[in-house]
Chain A
Amino acid sequence: MTQHLKYRGRWSALVLLTVLSGIPWYWPENDFGWQTWLVPGWVWVTLIAAIVLSALVVWGALRGWPDEPSE
């Protein structure tokens, strides 16, 4: 596997894991879980996953891939 695919592959796997952790597939059905400010727990988990996902993308965008052309 070439170097650029290795970097993109690792970063893509992290993105995918974050997306999967933000989907409440592991949450019991019809159970809101704990709540904060009347917002169900699973919604907070989803929102935190969105923040982590956004941070990962910002990091990927600003850092770039080592093999890519830059200015």
Chain B
Amino acid sequence: MQALPLQTGSFIFIAGYLGSLLIIGWFASRQRRGRSLGDYYLGGRGMGLWVLMLTLFATQYSGNALFGFTGQAYRVGFTWLAILHSMIAVVAGYLLFAPRLQGLSRQHHFVTPNDYIEYRFPSKALSVLVALCLMVVLINYVLAQLKVMGLMLAGLSGGQIDAFWGVVVLAIIMMIYSTMGGMRSVAWTDTIQGAMMLMGFILIAIIIERDMGGWSPAFAQLREIAPAKLAPPDGRGAVTWFSTVILIGIGASVYPQAIQRIYAARSIDTLRQSLAGMAVLPLFAVVVVLALGFVAIARFPGLEGSAADQVMAMIMRDVLNTGWFGHAVVTVLLGAILAALMSTADSALLSLSSIFAKDVYGKYLRPAASDSECARAGQWWAWIILGVLVWVSTQENLTLYRLFVLKFEILLQIAPAFYLGVNFRSLRATPITLGLVTGLCVAVGGWSLGWMPFGLHPGTVGLLCNVWMVVSVHYVCTFGKPQNQRSH
């Protein structure tokens, strides 16, 4: 890959942006009002409408949204519009449990997703299993972001920036500001990063019209060179589309870092209004990213497999050659990509740190530890795990979409504990535990074998088995008992 001929102004802009994150981190650390885990990991539970909406947006739309979605749109064509429905379905999923969960979190001072699980289903086996699943998912999530950071730095600098050292520098900046202010600095930097990403999406729309000849000529060319990518899906493809909406719509709604933002909302009304905003954003953000992928099919034909993930970088190189405006656009877009990667990775790391601090260290390793000791242990854990992941990110060789899907296969199996737990008060721990184990075996086993019956993702099949097991065991356990003994 050839280097992007960036000028000094671009580097100053990027350096200024990274520096501003450190300043925000320092400022957030000055705003801390105590040493409690709730203050550090949930920002004192006082997140307002705009901060909450932009932090949810920045957390939900990762580097994958810019590189992975564009690459997948290039690979499979218009049937990848499934992701548009999926990103709206995520918010629909939230509405089925988040407002009630927020109320419970205020009453019972939840900090981690597992706090709710323990309150609702008092079972040590279930809480350990959920904590393990969440940690695996978060590690996978951070790994995916680091991998894209490495690809981006090495690719765009044409090998001038070493992927490993580039990722190390970004990771250190990210860790410094999140260690200083916890959720407050992560959410505040997410606000800047979310705004930057929105600006990036607007610029992508401008690029398509100004530098790539517009939608219509590209679609006309597309019809000539790759008509299959304009065709509707066949029967199996339609099933995969539906499965994708279930997989991402339900799976992403139980991201641990998103659940912690539900806890951190100032009020239920703030949460609802933020979710309403989140339901509208995909209509713009996802549509322009997909359009870029579609237009790129006509512009750069013939890319196969993971090479398609590079279309964003190829487009940026083309835009750079169009004068000063092109330079300005690419510079802001680079900032937006960095923002997407860092905002997702820092949220996942903070969540990982909180789960270790509260669910592992404070519960099993040192039950007598104070809140500040637990928080410090969580911070150390985050630094160590990030160090290991930076190294692993330069070794792995999976395509971005595959990493993206793996975490949903697991997350989807945790969803019934939240969705059913909040809505069905008579449900007990045994059915949920057995359902989770069944779902995980089917999903992870199916994923490793590349199994997709009728076009359904292994995670979706796992969820069906999971829910079937929950319902069956629940009825067996409560069979013959009077209604009043079934209630929680």
Q: Footprint of B on A, CB under 8 Å?
A: 4-5, 8, 11-12, 15, 19-20, 22-25, 27-32, 37-40, 42-43, 46-47, 49-51, 53-54, 56-58, 60-62, 64-65, 68-71
Residues of A within 8 A of B245 (CB): 19, 23
Interface of B is mostly: helix
Q: Which of B30-38, B96-104, B408-416 contacts A (4 or more CB under 8 A)?
A: B96-104
**A38-B272 contact given A54-B282, A57-B279, A60-B95, CB 8 Å threshold:** no
Query: What is the chain A residue whose CB lies nearest that of B89?
Result: A19
Residues from 202 to 225 in B contacting A, C-beta threshold 8 Å: 215-216, 219-220, 223
Stretch from B78-86, B154-162, B189-197, B380-388 at the A interface: B78-86
| A22 and B82 alpha carbons, distance in the complex (Å) | 9
- In the assembly, what is the distance between CA of A38 and CA of B298, in Å? 14
With contact pairs A4-B423, A38-B223, A40-B78 given, residues A58 and B230 touching in the complex (Cβ less than 8 Å): no
B269 touches A49 (CB 8 A): no
Asked whether B282 lies within 8 Å of A68 as measured between CB atoms, the reply is no
A26 to B85, CA, bound (A): 17
CB contact under 8 A between A54 and B219, given known A27-B232, A61-B272: no
Please tell me if the beta carbons of B283 and A64 are within 8 angstroms of each other in the complex. Answer: no
- Further contacts, 4 of them, CB under 8 A, given A54-B280, A57-B95, A71-B269: A25-B235, A49-B85, A53-B89, A68-B268
Q: Is the CB of B242 within 8 A of A51?
A: no
Note all chain A residues with C-beta closer than 8 A to B267: 71
Residues of the B chain whose Cβ atoms lie less than 8 Å from the Cβ of A20: 242
Known A15-B92, A29-B234: A68·B241 in contact at CB below 8 Å: no
Question: Bound state CA distance, A15 and B242, in angstroms?
Answer: 13
**Structural contact, B283 and A50, CB atoms closer than 8 A:** yes
Q: A50: which B residues are within 8 A, CB to CB?
A: 81, 84-85, 88, 282-283
How far, in whole Å, are A65 and B81 apart by their CA atoms in the complex? 30
Q: Which residue of B lies closest to A56 (CB)?
A: B92
Give the distance in Å from the alpha carbon of A24 to the alpha carbon of B238 in the complex.
7
- Is B148 in the interface zone, CB < 8 Å from A? no
Is B326 in contact with chain A by the CB < 8 A criterion? no
B89 and A29 contact, CB distance less than 8 A: no
B392: Cβ under 8 A from any A Cβ:
no
A38 to B221, CA, bound (A): 10
Complex CA–CA separation, A3 to B333 (angstroms): 48
* A22–B234 touching, CB < 8 Å: no
Contacting residues of chain B (369-390) with chain A, CB-CB under 8 angstroms: none
Task: List 21 interface pairs A-B (beta carbons < 8 Å), by A numbering.
Answer: A8-B96, A11-B95, A23-B241, A27-B232, A29-B234, A31-B231, A38-B220, A43-B230, A46-B84, A46-B85, A47-B287, A50-B84, A53-B88, A54-B279, A57-B279, A58-B280, A62-B272, A62-B273, A64-B272, A69-B99, A69-B103
